[in-house]
Amino acid sequence: MAEQESFAFESSAAARRSGSRKKSAGRGAKVRRTRADAKKPKPSPKKRRSSGGGDGDGGSRRRSTAADLALQQRDISVSEFFAKNRHLLGFDNPAKALLTTVKEGVDNALDACEEAGIVPDVRVEIVQLSETRFRVAIEDNGPGIIRAQVPKIFGRLLYGSKFHRLRQSRGQQGIGISAAGMYGLITTGKPVVITTRTGKKQAAHHFELVIDTKTNQPKVKRDDEVEWDKDHGTRVEIELEGGYRGGQHSIDAYIGQISLANPHVELVFEPPHKPGTTVEPIIYPRVSRELPPETAEIKPHPYGVELGVLMQMLRDTHSRNLRGCLHSDFSRVSSKVAEGIAKKAGISPTRRPGEMSREEAEKLHAAIQATKLMAPPTDCIAPIGEALLLKALHAEVEADFYASVTRRPAVYRGNPFLIETGLAYGGKLSGDDSVTVFRFANRVPLQYQQGACAITKAVTATDWRSYQLQQPRGAMPVGPMLLMVHIASVWVPFTSESKEAIAHYPEIIKEIRLGLQECGRKVATFIRKRKREADEAKKRAYITQYIPQVAVGLQEILGLSETQTGKVVTDLKDVLERSRKM
């Protein structure tokens, strides 16, 4: 594979480089082997053993000295790291790689549109070039990208606008789309193609670029102005080795779930088709034209800040004194509260933050924990909302009962978050298997790593038997039910860079359980009522069956005429009908 070749080349080049670095291996260090020696074949372990080599502790292996190791120690670029560990980014098999690429593109498209206040129209096209090769295009009607930023966004890992802020968005790491481009480059050698335009009066730009994994820098292959029929927006095209699969992890399922959690999005999906051919697109229409409420960016809450982070913040602050720093760099700290904290820590409020010692920072940290502070503001979180959740669930499945709950915001590690739960029960849902759980984080469906996710933990830890459902011990409930859990937060604690599962913070698990229990109580009321109705219907059918016999018995005992007997039957049926409770 191209990737393996490039690393093989890399290691021999590294060996050459390390040879040339030996002379500068430190003044005090004794370098045992000279550069010429390095080229000589090493003595085989057998020979060393026969000559009684080794250092006496029984080892016959060649031992490296610290100086030997020093020669091999060097920087690792972030893109080299992730190229080798691409599974951390969600590129561990072909089907997942294709899904991750679509997901990263769509996440960015939706984030960009919403930040610009544009109701999103997103198009996803997949052209199948061969059995295992695809060209994916994701196009949005967002604000576009300024020309100078394009190479850095698509040709560098860890470059983005969302990492250094606390604000609810789908992306947060600054890796997503450049990682997809890098995977495409590694597997096909093809550049990422970007077309973007920032406004009617601006020219559209067409870029072709690759990422240089050794330096984590972009290399621009093409940069032209082009005609584009769109006033503003971005189109990203990536060619990659992938696989198109159906089922729970499919792109179709992902897009379906995207429209479930994003009722304001119109998504057009062209499933895989041969180049030069057309395919009937699948259209997921929007349920509402209302954009999610705009969310505010917040500063870190002091309760969630660890000592090391606090020390860094004291060094980085623009404020000249401690009082100003606490007030302006944290949320919920007024000048008065800041003075109180400083007093509690025994430090002057006018102390220069940059000059504070570790001991002072530790005292400050303890004083913060001992001070009563307001909970973080919650206007930074935009829930989907109970009404829209219900609407979306109705559009998704035909069921007999629907429920949704939006919890009040809570806090984990100083970060505000909010849980929403939705439920559909009965109808066309299959009742023989474990319930289906749709997991969402900041409106993005999570399709892999279900077992590792806090949402799954909360679902299995809930006692569904008390809500009229079956549940094997410690497992998912069984029945005709679809559950939906959404976590919205200014910083979603994912278990890995591939953003597939939520970490097990106790505060988060508790909130999810409370949301599920609320939905559980609602569905239990429905199931009980339905059971009562069914019981009554059964009894009524039974009685109805015997009414004619009762009438015949009465006719015989009381000597009733045919007309009277007929009246008895009608009256009894009438009584039965009138006594219906429901």
Ligand X SMILES: Nc1ncnc2c1ncn2[C@@H]1O[C@H](COP(=O)(O)OP(=O)(O)OP(=O)(O)O)[C@@H](O)[C@H]1O
CA dist., res. 94 & res. 5, Å (int): 20
The item of Mg ion, ligand X, none sharing an interface with residue 181, based on CB under 5 to 8 Å by kind, is: none
CA dist., res. 149 & res. 165, Å (int): 19
Shortest distance in whole angstroms from residue 156 CB to ligand X: 9
The item of Mg ion, ligand X, none sharing an interface with residue 162, based on CB under 5 to 8 Å by kind, is: ligand X
Shortest distance in whole angstroms from residue 108 CB to Mg ion: 4
Shortest distance in whole angstroms from residue 439 CB to ligand X: 17
Residues whose CB falls within 8 Å of the CB of residue 292, separated by 6 or more in sequence, listed in order: 114, 264, 382, 384, 443
Residues whose CB falls within 8 Å of the CB of residue 329, separated by 6 or more in sequence, listed in order: 299, 300, 313, 317, 319
Shortest distance in whole angstroms from residue 196 CB to ligand X: 7
Residue 170 or 439 having the CB closest to Mg ion: 170
CA dist., res. 551 & res. 245, Å (int): 65
Residue 362 or 497 having the CB closest to Mg ion: 497
Q: Which two tokens stand for residue 523?
A: 């569905």
Residues whose CB falls within 8 Å of the CB of residue 246, separated by 6 or more in sequence, listed in order: 252
CA atoms 278, 282, 286, 292: torsion sign? negative
CB-nearest residue to ligand X: 171
Shortest distance in whole angstroms from residue 5 CB to ligand X: 26
Residue 6 or 161 having the CB closest to ligand X: 161
Shortest distance in whole angstroms from residue 268 CB to ligand X: 16
Shortest distance in whole angstroms from residue 80 CB to Mg ion: 21
Shortest distance in whole angstroms from residue 216 CB to ligand X: 12
CA dist., res. 513 & res. 480, Å (int): 20
Residue 163 or 546 having the CB closest to ligand X: 163
Residue 114 or 329 having the CB closest to ligand X: 114
Using CB under 6 A as the criterion, which residues of the chain lie in contact with ligand X when the complex forms?
Answer: 104, 107-109, 112, 140, 142, 145, 153, 160-162, 171-178, 234
Shortest distance in whole angstroms from residue 373 CB to ligand X: 29
Tokens 């007093």 belong to: 343
Q: Which two tokens stand for residue 507?
A: 């505060």
The C-alpha angle 55, 58, 62, rounded to 5 degrees, equals 55
Residues whose CB falls within 8 Å of the CB of residue 267, separated by 6 or more in sequence, listed in order: 106, 122, 123, 124, 255, 258, 259, 283, 284
CA dist., res. 314 & res. 331, Å (int): 15
Residue 403 or 492 having the CB closest to ligand X: 492
The item of Mg ion, ligand X, none sharing an interface with residue 79, based on CB under 5 to 8 Å by kind, is: none
Hey, is 576 helix, strand or coil? helix
CA dist., res. 522 & res. 207, Å (int): 53
Report residue 155 CA to chain centroid gap: 22
The item of Mg ion, ligand X, none sharing an interface with residue 145, based on CB under 5 to 8 Å by kind, is: ligand X
Residue 183 or 402 having the CB closest to ligand X: 183
Hey, is 63 helix, strand or coil? coil
Q: Judge whether 461 and 470 are in contact, CB under 8 Å.
A: no
CB-nearest residue to Mg ion: 171
Phi, psi dihedral angles at 250 (to 5 degrees):
-80, 165
Using CB under 5 A as the criterion, which residues of the chain lie in contact with Mg ion when the complex forms?
Answer: 107-108, 171, 176
Shortest distance in whole angstroms from residue 158 CB to Mg ion: 12
The item of ligand X, Mg ion, none sharing an interface with residue 172, based on CB under 5 to 8 Å by kind, is: ligand X
Residue 114 or 329 having the CB closest to Mg ion: 114
Shortest distance in whole angstroms from residue 113 CB to Mg ion: 13
Residue 140 or 420 having the CB closest to ligand X: 140
Phi, psi dihedral angles at 167 (to 5 degrees):
-150, 145
Shortest distance in whole angstroms from residue 322 CB to Mg ion: 37
Q: Judge whether 315 and 325 are in contact, CB under 8 Å.
A: no
Residue 90 or 515 having the CB closest to Mg ion: 90
Q: Which two tokens stand for residue 403?
A: 């429920």
Q: Judge whether 140 and 120 are in contact, CB under 8 Å.
A: yes
Shortest distance in whole angstroms from residue 384 CB to ligand X: 20
Nearest to 232 by CA among 101, 117, 102: 117
Report residue 109 CA to chain centroid gap: 15
Residue 142 or 479 having the CB closest to ligand X: 142
Residue 234 or 449 having the CB closest to ligand X: 234
Q: Which two tokens stand for residue 460?
A: 């299995």
The item of Mg ion, ligand X, none sharing an interface with residue 209, based on CB under 5 to 8 Å by kind, is: none
E-strand ranges in 391-453 read: 401-406, 410-412, 415-425, 436-441, 444-446
Residue 234 or 259 having the CB closest to ligand X: 234
Enumerate the β-bridge partners of residue 405: 421
The item of ligand X, Mg ion, none sharing an interface with residue 234, based on CB under 5 to 8 Å by kind, is: ligand X
